[in-house]
């Protein structure tokens, strides 16, 4: 197992879930895209989109992050990722790619260097083609526009999107002497919520155990007991995913529900990468960001079929290519 598979697994799970992201009517998701077992481009209209309720106005040029996507805000039916193509990644995972590349180039992690990269990416017109930007981006750049130091611009965001960059860190710095502390330090730059930091630490511990050769289910049982019950999962695994992610765990983005839902799908599909990421995509909700958990853990412990890598719009360098 190479550590790069951790990162690749998360990117693949995000790209696969892209068209069905934030669908809560799963019948509509199946009607619009069929079985999400290959990369597809998102389409308008998005029947469950509540994007039109979101708003953001830059206070000054230091907060201008919407660029040419601003006219779509406030319009009903707009898909959150309407301009992305099949195999693309959403903006949070595009940032994860930048983080991976920055650390790989420098040879070490530096939070100030990363924050400058984050500012540069988000403030550059055309850097991303994603229409929707999560609350944490808007909060961060509102504070930055007000003159706050970038290191103090993170907000108390409690969404699972805060985990999107964790697999990149784990993949590029596998031998860091205090990886758990570094992960929490990094996530806190944008997500100053105790539960998000706790989930980031749990995800880190799970990967450390899997790296030691511990099977996924055993790792979840020993490291994620405060989030998830393996005993209850064993009683539920015969039930349909649409029933469990909907009635037992919410498909929504709040970390207290989204992280256990991601752990359940990882636990159930512990030995099958493709089946797990397809299941994650088909239950809708915040499927893209659950992919940071489902994709990275299943990718770390299982083979990743070549077609997933070949269809992903992310170019691997020779030193990144998994063995």
Average pLDDT over the chain, rounded to an integer: 96
Residue pLDDT, tens place only, 270-302: 999 999 999 999 999 999 999 999 999 999 999
Is the pLDDT assigned to residue 149 strictly greater than 50? Answer: yes
* Residues found in the chain: 323
Contact 100, 115 (CB under 8 A): no
Looking up residue 222, the CATH number of its domain turns out to be 1.10.4080.10
Residue 320 lies in a domain: no
For residue 49, the model assigns a pLDDT of 97
Q: Is 319 within a domain?
A: no
**pLDDT score at 315:** 73
Q: Is the pLDDT of residue 320 over 80?
A: no
Report how many domains make up the chain: 1
Instruction: Kindly state whether residue 170 falls inside one of the protein's structural domains.
Output: yes
pLDDT at 226: 96
Written as six digits, the tokens of 6 are 């951790």
Quote the pTM value: 0.97
SS3 per residue for 263-322: HHHHHHCCCCHHHHHHHHHHCCCCHHHHHHHHHHHHHHHCCCCHHHHHHCCCCCCCCCCC
Which structural domain range is residue 246 located in?
4-311
Condensed to tens digits (0 to 9), the pLDDT of residues 41-81 reads: 999 999 999 999 999 999 999 999 999 999 999 999 999 99
Domain assignment present for residue 204? The answer is yes
pLDDT at 1: 41
**pLDDT digits 0-9 by tens, 228-274:** 999 999 999 999 999 999 999 999 999 999 999 999 999 999 999 99
- Judged against a pLDDT cut of 90, whether residue 148 lies above it is answered with yes
């Amino acid at each position: 197992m190479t550590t790069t598979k951790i990162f690749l697994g998360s990117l693949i799970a995000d790209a696969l879930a892209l068209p069905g992201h934030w669908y809560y009517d799963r019948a509509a998701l199946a009607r619009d895209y069929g079985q999400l077992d290959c990369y597809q481009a998102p389409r308008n209209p998005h029947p469950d989109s509540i994007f039109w309720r979101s708003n953001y106005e830059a206070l000054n040029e230091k907060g201008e992050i919407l660029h040419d996507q601003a006219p779509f805000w406030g319009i009903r039916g707009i898909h959150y990722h309407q301009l992305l193509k099949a195999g693309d990644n959403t903006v949070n995972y595009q940032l994860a790619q930048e983080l991976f590349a920055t650390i790989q180039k420098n040879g070490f992690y530096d939070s100030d260097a990363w924050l400058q990269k984050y500012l540069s990416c988000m403030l550059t017109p055309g850097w991303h083609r994603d229409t929707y930007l999560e609350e944490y981006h808007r909060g961060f750049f509102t504070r930055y526009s007000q003159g706050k130091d970038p290191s103090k611009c993170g907000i108390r965001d409690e969404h699972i999107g805060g985990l999107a960059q964790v697999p990149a860190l784990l993949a590029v710095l596998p031998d860091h002497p205090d990886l758990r502390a570094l992960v929490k330090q990094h996530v806190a730059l944008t997500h100053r919520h105790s539960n998000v930091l706790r989930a980031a630490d749990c995800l880190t511990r799970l990967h450390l155990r899997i790296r030691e050769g511990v099977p996924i289910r055993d790792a979840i049982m020993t490291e994620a007991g405060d989030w998830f019950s393996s005993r209850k999962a064993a009683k539920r695994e015969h039930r349909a995913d649409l029933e469990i992610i909907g009635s037992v765990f919410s498909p929504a983005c709040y970390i207290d529900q989204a992280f256990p839902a991601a752990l359940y799908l990882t636990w159930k599909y512990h030995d099958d990468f493709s089946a797990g990421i397809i299941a994650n995509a088909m239950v809708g909700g915040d499927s893209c960001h659950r992919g940071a958990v489902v994709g990275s853990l299943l990718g770390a412990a299982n083979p990743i079929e070549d077609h997933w890598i070949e269809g992903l719009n992310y170019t691997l360098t020779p030193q990144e290519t998994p063995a």
